[in-house]
Amino acid sequence: MKLAQIFYQNQQLIAEVLDEKIYPLDFQGNMIDLIQSKAKLPEKKSPGIEIKDVEFLPPVSRPSKIIAIGLNYKDHASESNIEIPESPLIFTKFSNSLIAHNQPVCWQKRITQQVDFEAELAIIIKKEIYQCLPENVFDNIWGYTCANDISARDLQFGDGQWVRGKSLNTFCPLGPWIVLTEKIPDPHKLDIKCIVNGTIMQQSNTSQMIFPIPKLVSFLSNHFTLYPGDIILTGTPSGVGAFRSPPIYLNHGDHVIVEIESIGQLHNACKIDDP
């Protein structure tokens, strides 16, 4: 099942995506409210709405945390010329960075001139968990979606820590929808791509993760509580712009697609907002 947050006829709705149509659910509230309700999924309303007629919102709004993992793909660690970490490398992106499918990634040249793309599989947490054992992790995941960990490399590398360069407004595209856990029995066998202006820049498989999802979520929950709707970005494969020769950074008018098998495609255009 695919669930999305949409804006339609001046209403924010939760909807099921089925056969290229949108079916609003009989539910009042946002995605986190639905996750926390712990009830059977509400019935969907008919008739369906054409996808082109709705505006997508981030599939989760205002999570308590957006947690991101650095260097979680073997090929990316290699291209970065950094040793494979012994434990997950954790940073955060602030919730102001969230945008949806078809919304623009925006920045100003006076702030950054090295904006990069990073295709990632994102996890949405289902239950409040603390010190969760690896074997129980999948029972506590609501579903999966596509993410783009947009990064201002000049800020990231210049600061010596990553939060500012990762958290600019619009720097966390997410969506277009969440595929519930039961529909992806093995999230470690998914092809993942990033396509910029029609050219494949990243192409790998989630089997390349250094820390698989049970180990990763258990590790995180061992240190701090995870709450319903928390977002975990599981890392990016090789091919990012910063480590190409010469480097390739995003520019005004570029179109970026993150594509993950069994989930779909997340589309975002790029816009430089300098006056």
Q: What is the pLDDT of residue 46?
A: 77
pLDDT, tens digit (0-9, with 9 covering 90-100), for 143-161: 999 999 999 999 999 998 8
- Average pLDDT score, the chain: 95
Domains 1-57 and 59-272 share a fold: no
Let me know: does 25 contact 45? Beta carbons within 8 Å: yes
- Above 80 in pLDDT, residue 135? yes
Q: Whole-prediction pTM value?
A: 0.95
Averaged pLDDT, 82-104: 94
pLDDT, tens digit (0-9, with 9 covering 90-100), for 38-57: 767 888 787 899 999 999 99
The domain spans of the chain are 1-57, 59-272
What is the SS3 assignment for 237? coil
Q: How many angstroms separate the CA atoms of 82 and 199, rounded? A: 26
Strands 66-70 and 231-233: parallel
- Copy the structure tokens of residue 39: 């009830």
- Above 70 in pLDDT, residue 275? no
Is the Cα dihedral 36, 40, 42, 46 positive or negative? Answer: positive
- Above 70 in pLDDT, residue 264? yes
Averaged pLDDT, 246-257: 97
pLDDT tier for residue 74 given thresholds of 50, 70 and 90: confident
Range name among 23-27, 127-131, 213-217 with the lowest pLDDT average: 23-27
- Copy the structure tokens of residue 73: 């793909």
Q: Pick from 97, 99, 110, 96: which is nearest to 275 by CA?
A: 110
Q: What is the pLDDT of residue 43?
A: 84
Q: How many angstroms separate the CA atoms of 70 and 88, rounded? A: 7
Q: How many angstroms separate the CA atoms of 245 and 240, rounded? A: 11
- Above 90 in pLDDT, residue 76? no
Radius of gyration of the chain (CA): 18
Q: Which residue has the tokens 């999570």?
A: 63
Q: How many angstroms separate the CA atoms of 71 and 84, rounded? A: 7
Q: What is the pLDDT of residue 42?
A: 82
Share of the chain above pLDDT 90, in %: 89
Q: What is the pLDDT of residue 233?
A: 98
Range name among 28-42, 104-118, 156-170, 223-237 with the lowest pLDDT average: 28-42
Q: Which residue has the tokens 């029995």?
A: 185
Let me know: does 77 contact 71? Beta carbons within 8 Å: yes
CATH number of 59-272: 3.90.850.10
What is the SS3 assignment for 209? strand
pLDDT, tens digit (0-9, with 9 covering 90-100), for 189-232: 999 999 999 999 999 999 999 999 999 999 999 999 999 999 99
Let me know: does 209 contact 237? Beta carbons within 8 Å: no
Q: How many angstroms separate the CA atoms of 53 and 144, rounded? A: 24
| Domain spanning 1-57, CATH architecture | Roll (2.30)
CA distances from 266 to 143, 175, 193, 255, 256 (A): 16, 6, 11, 11, 8
Is the Cα dihedral 21, 186, 130, 58 positive or negative? Answer: negative
